[in-house]
Amino acid sequence: MKKDYYEILGVSRNASKEEIKQAYRRLAMQYHPDRVPPERKKEAEEKFKEISEAYAVLSDDRKRAQYDQFGHAGIDSQYTYEDLFRGVDFSSIFEDLGFGTSIFEDLFSEFGFFSPRTRTRTTGGRKGRDLEFNMEIDFKEAVNGTTKSITFPSYEVCPRCSGTGARSGKLEVCPQCGGRGTVSMQKAFFSLTTTCHRCRGTGKVILHPCSHCAGTGRIREQKKIEVKVPPGVDDGTVLRIGGKGESGINGGPPGDLYLVIRVKPHPFFQRKGKDIYCRIPLTLQEAIFGGEVEVPTIDGKVKMKIPPGTQSGKIFRLRGKGVYDSRSSLKGDQLVEVYVEVPSHLTREEKKELESVIKSISDQAYPEKQKFLQELRNL
């Protein structure tokens, strides 16, 4: 169970924004993993993430109001972990130390959150966002496999700057570190050489952003791709299409595309694992005397033999007429349940003739009925 955010930061529920900021700053300096003994580093990392999450919520008026009203449920239902930190400006908390956020940025990057200001200044590549969409297919397409076209909104590489984010298409030497990628600094008890916070160690920055993509290296557009759906997918199956998500930022790799398969219900067939189930009616004549009936399958119609005296509820198995199983490389079966249709809308003459025939049949022709009557007598 998650701890209370106010308790984590050690502030009251009516604390001001400045009090929350100062509490976070103090705890962040205390629990930064680089400032604790090696044996406590793992513990410090967990604590650092905990206090950063609390600050991300309580420093934002909207998130704080949701948390105050609904608790953690109000936050978890509205935000992904990445969204929770979007828009949070951590950098301003540490500026007055004299070296910006450099000792914190590597750790923030590892945990997956940055303030927007820090991110727009960096040229380090970041992976594009994964995307998830539903894709509806027919029952037969799910069983046999298919190829479908899908169109969806996505961020793609900017054609003007080729994804660099720079107006000229080329990055320039970082003026902060002179292209070295590192800076040396000393403040109070700190003396260290660390990654340049402006270029994040690349030595290159965007000085003149591309006007077409505002320096992000990406533009939003409709993306169309062909998706091969393997045979045997079921409703709820998730297909991962590697590298077909949003394009990366500043040369980073693209994300992945996840398609959740939604299979349309079929009017005749139902799926039960790797088997296909259906029901067909029999006439009295077919049930009593037997014969051959035509049965639809996914692959077309087939003839199925009905033995004499077939009862309602009898299930026949058509081997290999089911769903392909990728694990065994075999197909399931088709299960055909039959039911005897009692004739209706008979003419007077038909009823009379049928009644005469039925009355002439001995009780021994109904073994299930006789068994039931005997059990009833025993009770």
User: What confidence tens digit (pLDDT) does each residue in 133-151 have?
Assistant: 999 999 999 999 999 999 9
Q: What is the pLDDT of residue 65?
A: 81
Q: What is the pLDDT of residue 215?
A: 83
Q: What is the pLDDT of residue 39?
A: 80
* β-bridge partners, 115: none
Q: What is the pLDDT of residue 87?
A: 66
Q: Rounded distance, CA 209 to CA 39, Å?
A: 44
Superfamily of domain 1-118: DnaJ domain (1.10.287.110)
Torsion of CA 63, 64, 66, 67, to 10 degrees: 120
State how far Cα 276 lies from the chain centre: 27
pLDDT of 238 > 70? The answer is yes
Mean local confidence (pLDDT), 256-262: 93
Higher pLDDT, 143 or 213: 143
What ranges do the domains of the chain cover? 1-118, 128-171+206-264, 270-378
This prediction has a pTM of 0.56
Exposure pattern of 42-72 as b/e (b: 16+ CB <10 Å)?
Answer: eebbebbbbbbbbbbbbbbeebbebbeeeee
Please, which pLDDT band fits residue 117 given cuts at 50, 70 and 90?
Answer: very low
Please, which pLDDT band fits residue 325 given cuts at 50, 70 and 90?
Answer: confident
CATH of 128-171+206-264, one of 3.40.50.300, 2.60.260.20, 3.40.50.980, 3.30.420.40: 2.60.260.20
Which residues fall within 8 angstroms of residue 339, CB to CB, at 6 or more apart? 279, 280, 281, 282, 312, 313
Q: Which one of 20-29, 75-84, 137-146, 162-171 scores highest in mean pLDDT?
A: 137-146
Mean local confidence (pLDDT), 53-65: 88
CB of 193 closer than 8 Å to CB of 182: yes
DSSP conformation class of 146? E
**Per-residue three-class SS string for 254-312:** CCCEEEEEEECCCCCCEEECCEEEEEEEECHHHHHHCEEEEEEECCEEEEEEECCCCCC
| Percent of the chain residues past pLDDT 70, beyond the cut | 83
CB of 150 closer than 8 Å to CB of 245: no
Higher pLDDT, 117 or 39: 39
CB of 43 closer than 8 Å to CB of 30: no
Q: What is the pLDDT of residue 276?
A: 97
Query: What is the widest separation between alpha-carbon atoms in the chain?
Result: 111
pLDDT of 85 > 50? The answer is yes
* CATH class for the domain made up of 270-378: mainly beta
Lowest mean pLDDT among 15-24, 59-68, 287-296: 59-68
Q: Rounded distance, CA 231 to CA 140, Å?
A: 9
Coil, strand, or helix at residue 194? strand
pLDDT of 193 > 80? The answer is no
pLDDT of 366 > 50? The answer is yes
Average pLDDT for the chain: 84
In what helix (H) or strand (E) does residue 326 lie, and over which residues does it extend? none
**Are 1-118 and 270-378 in the same CATH fold?**
no
Please, which pLDDT band fits residue 77 given cuts at 50, 70 and 90?
Answer: low
pLDDT of 121 > 50? The answer is no
pLDDT of 187 > 70? The answer is no
Mean local confidence (pLDDT), 220-242: 92
Q: What is the pLDDT of residue 258?
A: 93
